[in-house]
Structure 1
Amino acid sequence: MSHPSPDPLKLADEITRQLGRLADRLSQLPPSQATQVIARVLDADNGVFGGITHLMITGSRFAKDQAERGELPAEVWLALGRAANMLDDMVFDLDEHQDTLRRISTQPTTIAATPPAPVPLVVRRRR
């Protein structure tokens, strides 16, 4: 027996609620578990961020088709396309850090004799 497809609007609302719950929990998790969650969310192939990017790409294709038919203004398609491209770029940029996140999240928590020294953060902008 097949399961009926969920209402897409209800599904979108539920995903939004679940993401909010995850964000609330993330701030309360121990560092290693929080890092595991972040690594999983940012996974380009199977994570939330990759899924949202895929959804935006699909939405952009839909909007393009609708814009070509005159059902949507071209500006809507262009905006969705830009958003999809930006998300795809971010997924690519963050994917290079997956191994580091996984490694850190699986390290056993030990109390170091000397706590790690803070590192100054440097903001780099790509253009």
Structure 2
Amino acid sequence: MSHPAPHPIGLADDITRQLQLLADHLAQLPPHHATQVIAHIIKPDVGLFDRVIGLVSVSSTVARVQAERGALPAEVWLALGRAANDLDAVGGDLDEHRAALRRVGTQPATNTGNPPLPAPLVVRRHR
């Protein structure tokens, strides 16, 4: 296992800046390219979203140990555990749509022909 970064708070700050930069770029991309980036972000097991879930999960585990030692209130551990579970549930919801994102993200961009028809923004979930 590799050694932790010597300055983990600086690393967290750098990653935070990079995430904001990615969000800024995503907002400016043409729709086709934006869809490709979104599909990449939620790519199973290797995407950014899964890494964030993993980070929150590890944070929950560390907070549990600290709560057991009395260094943190148990509520912090519980809140991080709920956050990890909620993010994982959102990931499950996104699983239903990964194929559609992948399909749209791999199609070449077209500037000719008819644009796609708009879809209604109210969607009923089928479970």
Output the TM-score relative to the length of structure 2.
Answer: 0.87
- Measure how far apart 1:47 and its partner are: 1.1
Q: CA 1:67/1:41 → structure 2, altered by over 3 Å: closer, same or farther?
A: same
Alpha-carbon separation, structure 2, partners of 1:125 and 1:67: 38
Please tell me the root mean square deviation across aligned C-alpha atoms, in Å.
Answer: 2.2
- The unaligned stretches of length 5 or more in structure 2 are none
Q: 2 CA distance for matches of 1:44 and 1:114?
A: 32
Residue number in structure 2 paired with 1:45 = 45
Q: Secondary structure at the match of 1:87?
A: helix
Structure 1 residue 114, shift from structure 2 partner: 3.1
Deviates more, 1:8-17 or 1:87-96: 87-96
In structure 2, C-alpha distance between the alignment counterparts of 1:31 and 1:92, rounded to whole Å: 24
Instruction: Tell me the residue number matched to 2:92.
Output: 92
In structure 2, the CA distance between the partners of 1:124 and 1:83, relative to structure 1 (3 Å rule), is farther
Q: In the TM superposition, what are the counterparts of 1:1-127 in structure 2 within 5 Å?
A: 5-111=5-111, 113-124=113-124
Q: What code does the residue aligned with 2:5 have?
A: S
Contact 1:44 1:92 (C-alpha < 8 Å) held by counterparts: no
Q: 1:60-100 CA distances to partner (integer Å, 9 max, x unpaired)?
A: 01111111121111111111111111011111211221111
Aligned-residue offset at 1:20: 0.5
Identity of aligned residues (%): 60
User: How far is the alpha carbon of 1:10 from its aligned partner?
Assistant: 0.8
Q: Deviations over 1:88-126 (max 9, x none)?
A: 111121122111111101112224533322121115589
Contact 1:43/1:95 (CA < 8 Å) preserved in 2? no
- Give SS of 1:118's match: coil
Cα distance in 1 for partners of 2:60, 2:30 equals 38
TM-score, with length taken from structure 1: 0.87
Greater mean deviation of Cα atoms: 105-114 or 35-44: 105-114
For structure 1, list consecutive stretches of 5 or more residues without a partner in the other structure: none
Matched length: 125
For 1:38 and 1:14, how far apart are their aligned partners in 2? 21
